Chains A and B, each alone.
Chain A
Amino acid sequence: MCQDCGCGDTNLVPLELQTRILARNDSTAEHNRQHFRERGIFTVNLMGSPGSGKTAVLEATARMFKNGRRLAAIAGDLATDNDAARLVRAGIRSCAIETGQACHLDAEMVHHELHHLDLEGVEFLFIENVGNLVCPAVYDLGQSVNVVALSVTEGEDKPLKYPTMFAKADLVLLTKLDLLPHLPNVDMTAIRNAIAKVMPDPHIIRMSAQDDAGVDGWVAWLRERRAAQVHEVVSA
């Protein structure tokens, strides 16, 4: 513009980009996904509020599998490795990611752990995400499915308050079912209706880690979905 008069004015050059800001995370996630699929590992990104029963779900899952060698877990925790220790006691090969200040796991953290964890013979890898209903849904980890643990005590409108997480979920585990007799005001139909407004194809499994009710249905779902993934990889 002002090159002629030499007044030192400058030019503004626009760059049209349209790039995904989390592109780097996405490509690491895709790399993880490749690792998993090649090895026949079905990976679950398990999310939910703190205390929704995520670790208890995995302990109950371990009880259903006679051969614990097929299961592995990565537990994201703000400050401790308590969850990973609980999972090891339950018979699942586990390691902890201490996230410190971070409110979610990302694909890079998971990739790092992958090369630490012995995945020989593993069919199911569970990634227990940081207890939080917002941030974990933003970061792809390379999982096969997203599963949200929602306990019956969390309030019927919880899904409506956190639509992002439910919109991306493949399954909702409605946990702590054994508490229902003590909760006369909890309306299961209202929970279901709330989920249907934020999750396009709502699959819900009701379960309790206390008495293992419904855990068989969850394990059947896992086996079915893993078989579909293995079939997909073989026919690709």
Chain B
Amino acid sequence: MHEYSIVQSLVDSVAAAVGTRTDAVVRSVRVSIGEVAGVDCGLLTTAYEVFRAGTLCENAAMTIDRIPARWECPLCGAAIPRGAVLQCPQCHEPAFMAAGDEIILQRVELEVA
């Protein structure tokens, strides 16, 4: 289970974003997790709840946006439907993943006095 190490990296990323604003309190964190990113959102939430205590994310609720996987033909742009062979039926080109592998910190909200 690597969700703990993802949370560790998440907290580090938040710290880098907060930088020198040491008087600010992080109130919320929003992340995007792709459907085939290899990250389990349930486990990520659990890991976050356990791990955030004592870090600068202690008072920050986390929201996860789940990004569905999308495969497309690189030539004609046709979408390859879910569960189909990952090749364009017209061009016979291997599809590419247009979305679905993101592990991204989108935004944080800081409370400043």
Contact = CB atoms under 8 A, between A and B. Distances in A.
A201 B85 CA distance: 10
Contacts of A196: 85-87
Interface residues on A, range: 35 or more
B105 A138 contact: no
A164 B33 CA distance: 13
Contact of A21 (B1, B31, B84): B31
B71 A164 contact: no
Contacts, number: 105
Interface in B58-113: 69, 71, 83-87, 94-97, 101, 103-113
Contacts of A135: 1-2, 38
A18 B65 CA distance: 13
B38 A164 contact: yes
A13 B94 contact: no
A138 B36 CA distance: 10
Contacts of A15: 17, 107-110
Contact of B105 (A21, A137, A193, A199): A21
Interface residues on B, range: 35 or more
A18 B107 CA distance: 7
Interface string A1-18: 000000000111111111
Residue from A13, A139, A196 having most chain B Cβ neighbours under 10 A: A13
Contacts of A19: 13, 17, 104-105
A35 to B, nearest CB: 22
Interface in A102-124: 102-104, 106
A223 interface: no
Interface of B: 1-2, 5-6, 9-10, 12-13, 17, 24, 27, 31, 36-39, 69, 71, 83-87, 94-97, 101, 103-113
Interface of A: 10-25, 102-104, 106, 134-135, 137-139, 163-165, 167, 193, 196-201
